[in-house]
Copies of this chain bind each other. A is one copy, B any other.
Amino acid sequence: MEFRKALGSFATGVTIITTRTADGHPVGLTANSFNSVSLDPPLVLWSLANNSGSFDAFKQARHWAVHILGADQEELSGRFARRGEDKFAGLEVGNGQGDVPLLKGCAAHFECRTVSQYQGGDHLIFIGEVLDFSRDEAAPLVFHGGKYAHATRRDPPTQKPRSAHLAGSFGEDFLGYLLGRSHFRFFSQIRPFLQREQLDDMEFYVLSTLTLKPLLSDDQIAEGMAGVLDERRQRALDGLVERGFAQRSDGGYALTPNGREAALHLIAEAKAIESQVLERLGDADAAILKTILNRLLGVVDPNAANVLWQQNGSV
């Protein structure tokens, strides 16, 4: 329906709102109709469809709690959005004002006492006074256009990219510069480990490509190397064969046991560096970066090495 779609243009956070029925059962649902109302007194609001299964429980409740979900709580959001399920099963639940069930690990929570209920068409609007609340620094779970979204802080518009001396040259925000510099700087942290094994960059690219499949044809290696130049790739392959890290078979190239060992050792070091870098970048931005690099690869590399990767598991 068009009206619903238009409303979806307004991005929101995602909340889980909980209460307890008169006979003591915990009740909860996912809602994005939350918003703040007043600072003094502290009031918030949300609205609930008249035909919701939890309608009576909330209508009669004197207390309820709003939990604002963090970026890592999409699964919890889905659980509380479905009907029927025992939503609280297996969750660690605390007790708030009015014995309201409190969920752990949220970006913020507000414990409220109902001060007004207003009928608003097919929904009931709840206004609550905030009796207690908490907040945690966390990236938010966001909902927009009927789908979950990531959000990341914008840089202030004053922070303009710098430019080259030569007019007409690149600016600092040229994508090729950002990608190249990110790649080479990240890779330069891995390089000391390669040098210990006396491998150069290209040999390492080939070595790690050879971990993708038990046996790779020339074409597959070329595909795996993502457009890196031919002659240097061949030289690197020859180098790996000479070192006893790879061997040429009928159908193509394969790692030797020594090559496998060297590859796994180096890849473990590289993964450790990745962890450090991503930790400093932050989980939320790390997830967004990977999401968008994958979309970028969908643009610049539509085949995305489909022939090389396996869908599930590993041997």
Binding site for B on A (CB under 8 A): 1-7, 9-13, 15, 32-45, 47, 68, 74-75, 107-108, 110, 116, 118, 120-123, 125, 127, 130, 133-136, 138, 140, 142, 144-145, 147-155, 157, 160, 162-170, 172-176, 178-191, 200-201, 205, 208, 211-214, 225-229, 255, 260, 263-264, 267-268, 270-271, 274, 277-278, 280-281, 285-286, 288-297, 299-301, 305, 309-315
A280 CA to B300 CA, complexed, in Å: 9
Nearest CB of B to A224, in Å: 9
Does the CB pair A180–B187 fall under 8 Å? Answer: yes
Provided the pairs A2-B135, A120-B45, A315-B166 are in contact, do residues A301 and B181 lie with their beta carbons within 8 angstroms? Answer: yes
If A152-B292, A186-B175, A299-B277 touch, does A121 touch B37 (CB 8 Å cutoff)?
A: yes
Partner of A163, one of B157, B185, B187, B314: B314
Tell me which of B40, B167, B226, B263 contacts A314 (CB under 8 A).
B167
Of B35, B170, B181, B208, the contact of A169 (CB 8 Å cutoff) = B208
Could you pull out 26 A-B pairs where Cβ atoms are within 8 angstroms? A3-B42, A6-B110, A9-B108, A12-B13, A33-B36, A40-B121, A45-B125, A75-B157, A140-B144, A142-B151, A145-B153, A150-B152, A162-B311, A164-B212, A164-B309, A164-B314, A166-B255, A166-B314, A168-B267, A180-B205, A182-B297, A182-B300, A184-B225, A277-B296, A277-B299, A285-B295
- Asked if residues A166 and B6 are in contact (CB atoms below 8 Å), the reply is no
The residue from B135, B179, B211 contacting A5, defined by CB atoms under 8 A apart: B135
Interface-central residue, A43, A181, A297, by most chain B CB under 10 Å? A181
A68–B7 Cα distance when bound, in Å, is 9
How far does the Cβ of A21 sit from chain B's closest Cβ, in whole Å?
25
Give Cα A222 to B175, complex, Å: 20
User: Within the assembled complex, what's the spacing in Å between the Cα atoms of A280 and B295?
Assistant: 10
Contacts of A168 in B (CB 8 A): 264, 267-268, 314
How long is the Cα–Cα vector from A228 to B267 in the complex, in angstroms?
A: 20
* Residue among B144, B166, B205 making CB contact with A264, cutoff 8 Å: B166
> In the bound complex, do residue B226 and residue A301 qualify as a contact, i.e. CB atoms below 8 Å apart?
no
Residues of B near A149 (CB, < 8 A) are 151-154
Contacts of A179 in B (CB 8 A): 179, 182-183, 186-187, 293
Q: Which residues of B contact A47 (CB under 8 A)?
A: 35-38
